[in-house]
């Protein structure tokens, strides 16, 4: 099945060869999303809540560019550098998913750049 790359114009150039998202049929895949600005600068260093908000806003914009919304999210893959950031991430996460909650997993791991605390990848299904 062919897919359509989704790369909203307001995003900085990716730091690696990938698309912000892809749409294949009625499924939208959003790449692992980080709190990065222009030139790969880390945004909101030391603030997992602010990084989570930036990540989820970026995911929201990517989904909307593909014709989806946060309500269409079926699964999130969450990566944290430190479990101490779990409560801050969850507090912001709950704002973006106030109703039925998508399935998810959360693991602790290293991320691509020092200072990054949260990464989220998403799968959404269009109705």
Decide: helix, strand or coil at residue 78.
Answer: strand
Residue 12: predicted pLDDT: 79
C-alpha to C-alpha distance for 40 and 34, rounded to whole angstroms: 10
Within the chain, strands assigned E span 4-6, 21-24, 27-33, 73-80, 103-108, 118-125
Residue 14: predicted pLDDT: 78
Tokens of 58: 């970026």
Residue 2: predicted pLDDT: 85
Predicted confidence pLDDT, tens digits, the chain (127 residues): 789 999 998 887 777 899 999 999 999 999 999 999 988 899 999 999 999 999 999 999 999 999 999 999 999 999 999 999 999 999 999 999 999 999 999 999 999 999 999 999 999 999 7
Asked whether the beta carbons of 98 and 44 are under 8 A apart, the reply is: no
Residue 113: predicted pLDDT: 94
Residue 85: predicted pLDDT: 98
């Amino acid at each position: 099945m062919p897919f359509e790359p989704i790369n909203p114009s307001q995003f900085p150039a990716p730091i690696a060869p990938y698309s912000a998202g892809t749409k294949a049929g009625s499924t939208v895949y959003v790449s692992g999303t980080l709190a990065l600005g222009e030139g790969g600068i880390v945004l909101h260093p030391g603030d997992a809540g602010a990084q989570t908000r930036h990540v989820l806003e970026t995911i929201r914009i990517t989904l909307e560019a593909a014709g989806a919304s946060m309500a269409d999210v079926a699964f999130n893959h969450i990566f944290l550098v430190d479990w101490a950031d779990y409560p801050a991430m969850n507090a912001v996460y709950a704002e973006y998913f106030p109703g039925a909650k998508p399935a998810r997993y959360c693991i602790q791991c290293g991320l691509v750049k020092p200072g990054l605390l949260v990464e989220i990848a998403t799968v959404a299904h269009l109705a």
